[in-house]
Amino acid sequence: MFYYPIDQEVKLALLELKDAPKLYRLIQENREHLRTWLGWVDSVNSIQDTKHYIKVVQSKMIEGHGFQSSIRVRGELAGLIGFHNFSMQNRSVSIGYWLGKNYQKQGLVVKATKALVEYAFNEWDIHRIEIRCATENYDSRRIPEKLGFQKEGLLRQVEWLYDHYVDHQVYSMIKGEWDQKKMDIME
């Protein structure tokens, strides 16, 4: 079971079936906000859809393909963050995240991403972590930039969002770079 306290108010916890009603409500309350950058929003139309999603991500976790964690602020579900595209052979993984609109601009995703980066490098011995963001999604792009991820390049028209394609900016962090950044901070 993954449970990661970040500070007194913010915790990460594995997504569980009991979270379905709260997750569905968060999606409903933020549907237009989330729909701007997330192509799956229109496929979530009931608590049953949310339960199905949770079962799928739980299966992926059991199969060793990463996991989804809730971001909780003072016990309330604020959003999700998780590992995708896990490759043990390449010792690589990507991180994806989203927050409800009322929880943005508080540094929550920076804290949560930093926690997952530490977890991946230290617990799983991952070599490379990647984050992809739509090029126009400046709020999302700020996360890897604040954490010192390297901007690698552009993936052109890589994601279909309802009625148009968007480009993605690719960011990465290599374990040795992360370790060096921590050493630089300590000096």
What is the spatial distance between Cα 69 and Cα 52, in angstroms, rounded to a whole number? 16
pLDDT at site 11? 96
The band of 181, judged by pLDDT with boundaries at 50, 70 and 90, is: confident
Q: Which of 19, 8, 9 is nearest to 77 (CA)?
A: 19
Give the 3-state secondary structure of residue 2.
coil
Q: Terminal CA-to-CA distance of the chain, rounded, Å?
A: 35
CATH class of residue range 3-186:
alpha beta
Bridge-based pairing of strands 164-174 and 10-14 is: unpaired
Cα angle for residues 37, 80, 162 (degrees, 5° grid): 20
**pLDDT above 70 for 187:** no
Per-residue pLDDT tens over the stretch 6-64: 999 999 999 999 999 999 999 999 999 999 999 999 999 999 999 999 999 999 888 88
What is the spatial distance between Cα 77 and Cα 13, in angstroms, rounded to a whole number? 10
Per-residue pLDDT tens over the stretch 163-174: 999 999 999 999
CA torsion through residues 49, 51, 55, 60, sign: positive
Q: What is the pTM of this model?
A: 0.93
Per-residue pLDDT tens over the stretch 95-117: 999 999 999 999 999 999 999 99
Beta bridge partners of residue 135, listed in sequence order: none
